[in-house]
Amino acid sequence: MRISIWSTVVSMFLGASSFAAERPNILFIFTDDHASHAMSCYGSKINETPNLDRIADEGMLFRNCFCTNSICGPSRAVIQTGKYSHKNGFYMNGDQFDGTQQTFPKLLQAAGYQTAVIGKWHLGEHMPPQGYSYSDVLVGQGPYYNPPMLRDVDGSGDQERIKRTGYTTDIITDLALEWLKSGRDESRPFMLMYQHKAPHREWAPGPDHLTMYDDVDIPEPDNLFDDYATRGRAAREQDMTIATTMTPRDLKLVPPPYLNEEQLEVWNAAYGPKNRAFEKANLEGDDLVRWKYQRYIKDYLRCIASVDDNVGRVLDYLDETGLADNTVVIYSSDQGFYLGDHGWFDKRFMYEESYRMPLLIKWPGVTEPGSVNTDLVSNVDFAETFLDIAGVDIPGDMQGASLVPLLRGETPDDWRKSHYYQYYEFLNDRRTAHMVRRHYGVRTARYKLIHFYNIDEWELYDLASDPREMRNLYGEPQYQDLIQDLKAEIVRLQEELEVPDDAGSVEPNPPSLKIR
Ligand code: CA
């Protein structure tokens, strides 16, 4: 009898503890502006990312993950809430995220998860991150070296400001590892958002990578000298070209202002000789653009090399401690980026390079190693996916869908066949960053229809025959039936997603979103 009671107690205890153990940990690794065409697992022609590739090799690579609004803060707000910008209220950079609203970390926390965010937050400093047991985040964009950070050790909202010395990508990783080693409550599963500033503009490499690629030429994209023929005013009138928009600081012709004396010395030893050679060459015209491309892309890839090294440190730690067995590891970035494509850097447009997000997910025992998914998925799906992984009920007002069936290799028959996009950051009478016109659009497996609604210009692309989106088919007669179908699909999606007619408008008389 006594033995039987004891065994019941033991089995209850083991039962409870094995339930906790069964719920997987979630490690969300996130970068800023990392385009998938700068990852070797996506077929990059310009760099190698061996550690990110480990996640793809051990898990699933999503070929068609798209953001709903291709810019930093808004993408983060979508991920927090599982809702489009017009529902979570964060339309453009400079907005302040309403942290009192429902978010997936809050729901995980309520379900017993220990939640943490370390690194870039970029949803405003007006309130500390909410829904986290621990946060240690950059202030705003955060510099590449010696970042001031805000730490809240218990989720109370009291933040301590700490300025750290070193390279930010390394520091964020050190802090994430420190939290994994000694910050965790081992009786509970965790969800850690480990989020880098890199490889955001101005692409300042770390001390270990300042001369990487010095002796090689990086291949140029085939449309570096795009003339925007067949495209409309939006593509022609933007302010994000490698040729004209980049500043001396972007191009490292002047050093970053935040380096200390020792860092500056290392920096100048690397860039000084390169800059002197550039001055001596006296380049003009296309040759100058080609030089700027090389300078830009090498710095961008150097920043990624540092991210890759650091992700390797974290993956090693998970492997060595055995945590890897029950941890879902996700890699993504808030949007893609132009790597000289169309002559550009930056993002914002619904064209493929900035609309597409990298997405790798490894879930031991669930995702088949080395598998590839081509369904249309989105950052609006992330919150629901994380809740589903944790076995937490998904609220009805979230607007995405859980990727868990896809991770199991079983795409539901009713999975989305089209994806809705909307970008807002253009203020009619004020100069806004990069001057990309507001637009919305729809993408299907094969086609994309975009409406620059303030100027009522349309663009249609056949992604099968024109994956680089160089030929706008909108005016061509043979596509008129298709265009009507895609317009009807936009109307359907705007209704389904409850997009208001004046979504994100700051003008007194907003141009109508509605299709005329
Ligand atoms: Ca970004």
Ranges of H-type helices in 391-500: 404-407, 480-496
For residue 413, the CA-to-ligand 1 centroid distance in Å is 32
Predicted pLDDT of residue 9: 42
For the chain, how many helices (H) and strands (E)?
Answer: 13, 17
- Tally of CA atoms within 13 A in the half-sphere of 474 that contains its CB: 18
d(CA 228, ligand 1 centre) in Å: 24
How far apart (Å, rounded) are the C-alpha atoms in residues 302 and 290? Answer: 18
Residues in the chain: 516
Unique residue bearing structure tokens 């081509």: 374
**Separation of 149 CA from ligand 1 center, angstroms?**
19
CB within 8 A of 436, min separation 6: which ones? 234, 238, 240, 348, 349, 423, 425, 426
Report which DSSP code applies to 344: B
- Share of residues in the chain with pLDDT > 90 (%): 88
- Tell me the CA distances in angstroms from 207 to 96, 144, 249, 263, 426, one per residue in order: 34, 11, 17, 8, 37
Mean pLDDT of 102-128: 96
Ligand 1 centroid–CA 201 distance in Å is: 9
Question: Stretch 21-50: mean pLDDT, rounded?
Answer: 96
pLDDT per position as a tens digit, 355-405: 999 999 999 999 999 999 999 999 999 999 999 999 999 999 999 999 999
Strand order in the sheet with 356-357: 356-357, 65-66, 377-378
- 31 alpha carbon to ligand 1 midpoint, in Å? 8
Ligand 1 centroid distance, CA of 160 (Å): 26
Supply the pLDDT for residue 460. Answer: 98
**Pick the residue with more confidence: 1 or 112?**
112
The pLDDT of residue 13 is: 44
3-state secondary structure 9-48: HHHHHHHHHHHHHHCCEEEEEEECCCCHHHCHHHCCCCCC
Q: Ligand 1 centre and the CA of 334: distance in Å?
A: 5
What is the 300 CA–ligand 1 centroid distance (Å)?
Answer: 13
What tokens appear for 48 in the block? 């190698």
Read off the pLDDT of residues 193-231 as tens digits, 9 standing for 90 and up.
999 999 999 999 999 999 999 999 999 999 999 999 999
- Give yes or no for residue 272 having a pLDDT over 80: yes
Distance 129 CA to ligand 1 centre (A): 18
Given a cut of 80, is residue 15 above it in pLDDT?
A: no
DSSP states of 497-509: TT--TTTT--SSS
Gap from CA of 72 to ligand 1 centroid (Å): 4
DSSP β-bridge partners for residue 372: 61
User: Rounded distance, CA 463 to CA 474, Å?
Assistant: 13
The mean pLDDT value for 26-46 works out to: 98
| pLDDT, tens digit (0-9, with 9 covering 90-100), for 455-464 | 899 999 999 9
Cβ pair 344, 41 in contact under 8 A? no
- In this predicted structure, the answer to whether residue 56 has a pLDDT above a threshold of 90 is yes
**What are residue 336's DSSP bridge partners?**
none
Q: Tell me the two tokens of residue 476.
A: 């061509």
The more confidently predicted of residues 178 and 92 is 178
Six-digit token string for 324: 């890897």
C-alpha 71 – ligand 1 centre gap (Å): 5
Å from CA of 151 to ligand 1 middle: 22
pLDDT at 428: 63
Cβ-proximal residues to 357 (8 Å cutoff; 6+ apart), any chain: 36, 65, 66, 67, 75, 332, 333, 334, 335, 336, 379
Kind of pairing between the strands at 190-195 and 114-119: parallel
Token pair for 210? 């300042």
For residue 79, pLDDT beyond 60: yes
Can you give the pTM of this predicted structure? Answer: 0.94
Residue 153 — very low, low, confident or very high, per pLDDT cuts 50/70/90?
Answer: very high
143 is written with which tokens? Answer: 């510099």
Pick from 57, 185, 56, 235: nearest CA to 65: 56
Q: What is the distance of C-alpha 220 from the center of its chain?
A: 24
Residue with tokens 């949803």: 123
- Give distance in angstroms: CA of 447 to centre of ligand 1: 25
Residue 74 CA, ligand 1 centroid: distance in Å = 9
Q: What is the pLDDT of residue 14?
A: 42
Q: What is the dihedral of CA 104, 106, 111, 115, to 10 degrees?
A: 90
- Rounded to the nearest angstrom, the distance between the alpha carbon of 56 and the centre of ligand 1 is 22
In the structure, what pLDDT confidence band is assigned to residue 347 with cuts at 50, 70 and 90? very high
276-295 pLDDT tens trace: 999 999 999 999 999 999 99
Going from the Cα of 371 to the center of ligand 1, the distance in angstroms, rounded, reads 27
Report the pLDDT value the prediction gives residue 504, as an integer from 0 to 100: 53
In this prediction, residue 339 carries a pLDDT of: 98
Least confident of 13-27, 375-389, 472-486: 13-27
Burial of 154 (0-12, 13-18, 19+ CB in 10 A): exposed
Note the pLDDT of residue 5. 44
pLDDT in tens, 409-452: 999 999 999 999 999 988 765 667 898 999 999 999 999 999 99
User: How far does residue 337's CA lie from ligand 1's centre (Å)?
Assistant: 8
Calculate how far, in angstroms, residue 475's C-alpha sits from the geometric centre of ligand 1: 33
Question: pLDDT confidence of 500, banded at 50, 70, 90?
Answer: confident
Express as a percent the part of the chain with pLDDT over 70: 92
Arithmetic mean of pLDDT over the chain: 93
- pLDDT, residue 368, reads 98
Taking the centre of ligand 1 as the mean of its atom positions, its distance from the CA of residue 468, in whole angstroms, is 21
Neighbours of 456 (CB within 10 A): 12
How far apart, in Å, are the Cα atoms of 241 and each of 172, 341, 441?
Answer: 31, 10, 23
